[in-house]
Amino acid sequence: MSFFFICVLALVAGYFVYGKVVERVFVIQPERPTPCCEYRDDCDFIPMPTWKVYFIQLLDIAGLGPIFGPILGALYGPSALLWIVIGCIFAGGVHDYMSGMLSVRSKGQSIPEVVGNFMGMSARQVMRVFSVILLLLVGVVFVLGPAKLLGQMLGVNVQLLVGIIFLYYFLATILPISTLIGRLYPIFGALLLFMSVGVVVAMAVSGYELPSLSFATNTHPGDQPIWPLLFITLSCGAISGFHSTQSPLMARCIQREDRGRLVFYGAMIVEGIIALIWATVGLAFYDNPEAMQAVISAGSPAAVVNEVCNSLLGTVGGFLAILGVVVLPITSGDTAFRSTRLILADAFKIPQVQAGKRLLIAVPLFVIAFLISTQDFAIIWRYFGWSNQTLATLVLWASAIYFVQNRRFHWIATIPAMFMTAVVVSFILQAPIGLNLPPALSNGIGVGAALAAGVGFLIYAGRCCSGPVTDSAS
């Protein structure tokens, strides 16, 4: 377990060191009015205490991704731990901070509008489509997922639970953010804390150890290649485009720009720690990857969670820990629908102060979501990982453009943007849901696409340097 704690310390150090670098490059203005002060409407734009904004941001971004993704990522071996640490500090933290702070600087706009401000109308339209589809899928899955887990735990009819969760999501979507989300999330946060700390302590006390730390060895039982699959499979906990759809929610509630590092970068770091916990569980709890794969194949990563929690924490502790796991999808599903409402409102310029205008979007939105929930959309869901990371890639490129336009050190966004470009291009070219090209060819094209994008960006940067300097997000 010693390497696990080294990784945790690296993430904490990343927050205090690299997070501060990102903040300085962005150049915060602590006294500048934030959207909740300028556009307060007591529904979406509401000043909230920083601790509450932080908890909401953390629970917004931490769905089942930082649990299921790392469990699946652990099948590839210890390289999953390295990706979590490096990805979280240098890619995910930058992505989350910039998506939040650029929204703060853009009057609290949703992420498609923010990206469109820097990359043009075509990118804006692509982001709108990607975001809405991604959020609808997340919302529906995060109805069915927790309903099934609760049904198994409580012996309650799953369809009844689906109805109850849908009702909660609907209310959380249309009511002021302080009414339900602001009041329930601190309680949910306590359950999440218990789950995370409880599993770590139990693992350490029980004497579980990581296997040989051979980072170059791929241990996946299905012989799946680390590149690019690990970086698609293990997204939440390293870098996830879904986060950029959530950050604007808190960009409308944060009261000072100097709280952005804690709220946006800091929440990403804690999600990385949660991901480390479950990747370590996957590597240490089972004798070998084949044993964990057998459990996953018999059920899903949820079966791993159930087995681990009950084995390590007993019946009562396991129940509370699994309840903490259930909280994660619920606290991302509710804000997924809320974010969708706001993205559509921004796109069609529909004010959201009046309840009737919120219902105008929310009612058809939930009708569509319910219809999707009755369908077998397994094929569509296969595209989720790719579309999620493509979303993250676009946000990183938009951040790099912002830095260039304002004569700042763009490489903190450009390098991860190039890396993620290589990942998403390589994946879609070789995946069965894509062009199904040979790995060597698709990987070569992916790297070539990243280099071409980098060269094109540097040419653009050189041209920008000849113009006047302005804060392009003002």
Q: Quick check: is 310 in a domain?
A: no
Q: Quick check: is 324 in a domain?
A: no
Residue 393: the pLDDT is 97
How far is the C-alpha of 37 from the C-alpha of 74, rounded, in Å?
44
Q: Quick check: is 444 in a domain?
A: yes
Count Cβ atoms within 10 A of the Cβ of residue 135 and give its class: 0-12 exposed, 13-18 middle, 19 or more buried.
buried
Residues 6+ apart with CB under 8 A from 384: 134, 137, 138
Residues 6+ apart with CB under 8 A from 263: 50, 53, 54, 57, 100, 250, 254
**Residue ranges of the chain whose pLDDT lies below 70:** 376-382, 466-474
Q: What is the pTM of this model?
A: 0.94
- Number of folded domains that form the chain: 1
* Rg, C-alpha atoms of the chain: 21
Q: Quick check: is 472 in a domain?
A: no
Q: What six digits make up the tokens of 145?
A: 């997922």
Residue 149: the pLDDT is 77
Q: Give 266's DSSP letter.
A: I
Tell me the residue range of the domain where 138 lies: 2-144+159-186+208-290+335-464
Residue 187: the pLDDT is 81
Count CA atoms within 13 Å of residue 395 on its CB side. Answer: 35
- For 218-236, write each residue's pLDDT tens digit: 999 988 999 999 999 999 8
Evaluate whether 139 touches 372 at the Cβ level (below 8 Å).
no
Q: Please give the span between the terminal C-alpha atoms of the chain, in angstroms, as a whole number.
A: 47
From 58, 136, 141, 134, select the one nearest 389 (Cα to Cα): 134
Q: What six digits make up the tokens of 216?
A: 């170059």
- For 349-367, write each residue's pLDDT tens digit: 999 999 999 999 999 999 9
Q: Quick check: is 422 in a domain?
A: yes
Residue 52: the pLDDT is 93
Residue 302: the pLDDT is 78
**For the chain, what's the residue count?**
474
From 90, 18, 100, 115, select the one nearest 416 (Cα to Cα): 90
Residue 322: the pLDDT is 75
Residue 189: the pLDDT is 79
Q: What six digits make up the tokens of 284?
A: 């240490």
How far is the C-alpha of 265 from the C-alpha of 261, rounded, in Å?
5
Q: Quick check: is 154 in a domain?
A: no
Per-residue CA distances from 381 to 164, 192, 202, 369, 472 (Å): 24, 26, 34, 14, 36
Q: What six digits make up the tokens of 63?
A: 């769905």
Residue 328: the pLDDT is 78
Residue 274: the pLDDT is 93
Q: How far is CA 434 from the centre of its chain?
A: 23
Q: Quick check: is 317 in a domain?
A: no
Q: Quick check: is 316 in a domain?
A: no
Residue 103: the pLDDT is 98
Residue 469: the pLDDT is 58
Q: What six digits make up the tokens of 221?
A: 């039982």
